[in-house]
Amino acid sequence: MRILVLSDIHANLEALEACMEFAKGKYDRAVCLGDLVGYGPDPNAVVERARAATNVLIRGNHDKACAGLMEGSDFNLLARLATVWTRQQLTAENISFLRSLPEGPLLQEGFQLVHGSPEDEDEYIFGPGEAHPLLHRATLQITLFGHTHRQGGFAMHHNGRFQTIHIPPSEDGLVRTLALENGTRYFINPGSTGQPRDGDWRAAFAILDQQQNQVEYYRTGYNLAFTQTKMMQAGLPEPLVRRLELGR
């Protein structure tokens, strides 16, 4: 089975469409690790598209905040403004869909889905400091996580060696293939589809290939200017518009 892994789409329809187009014919099932909405200009269209295009979804912190399941009082001002705007836009049906999304970890055949970390859906795994103890305690070989908007991940080898999975700069398309070893445990971050923060503005996704025992990381450009224009027209905060082109 080849699993398309999307995460942190954040109401960016152009980025989602670009990923779906690029991944077309390359996967059997699709999963999403949360944060369908928040920040971007197309919350309804993205919820509907992602709902139709994926087999399994879990919720992210922005899904909870935009659906009114939590206050979002720990969000910064810009995120709070985008949350308020998104709440006003969402249809009743899409709000109830977001409210119905399960909390991670969600166990699938051979891997689990989490938004933040296996122990707390809102926890960020930024670096070795967070990843090392969590990987040490992990019992499953493969955990797919998002939330940080940084493509890559971490591994703990059977001999105890810890590894940060880096993504090299490269052209659009397949940017890295990671061979999965038996006995090694992995935290895999596909990167953010709709608001990357790893210094590369392009939409990110990954494909987990269970036959070949590997993860393929991808990047693809999309019509960024169009997304930014829609954000300006919607009156979303300008720093949120700018950060898209910076990938920060």
**What residue ranges bind Zn ion (CB under 5 A)?**
8, 35
Q: Which two tokens stand for residue 218?
A: 């991808």
Minimum CB separation of residue 176 from Zn ion in Å reads 22
* Complete edge-to-edge strand list for the sheet that includes strand 152-156: 106-108, 111-113, 142-144, 185-189, 152-156, 162-165
- By beta-carbon proximity to Zn ion, the closer residue of 115 and 185 is 115
Q: Is the peptide bond between 105 and the residue preceding it cis, with omega within 30 degrees of 0?
A: yes
- By beta-carbon proximity to Zn ion, the closer residue of 69 and 174 is 69
Minimum CB separation of residue 10 from Zn ion in Å reads 6
DSSP state, 148?
S
* Angstrom distance (rounded) from CA 194 to CA 19: 10
- By beta-carbon proximity to Zn ion, the closer residue of 143 and 156 is 143
Minimum CB separation of residue 8 from Zn ion in Å reads 4
- By beta-carbon proximity to Zn ion, the closer residue of 147 and 230 is 147
* 135 half-sphere exposure, CB direction, 13 A CA radius: 28
Minimum CB separation of residue 34 from Zn ion in Å reads 7
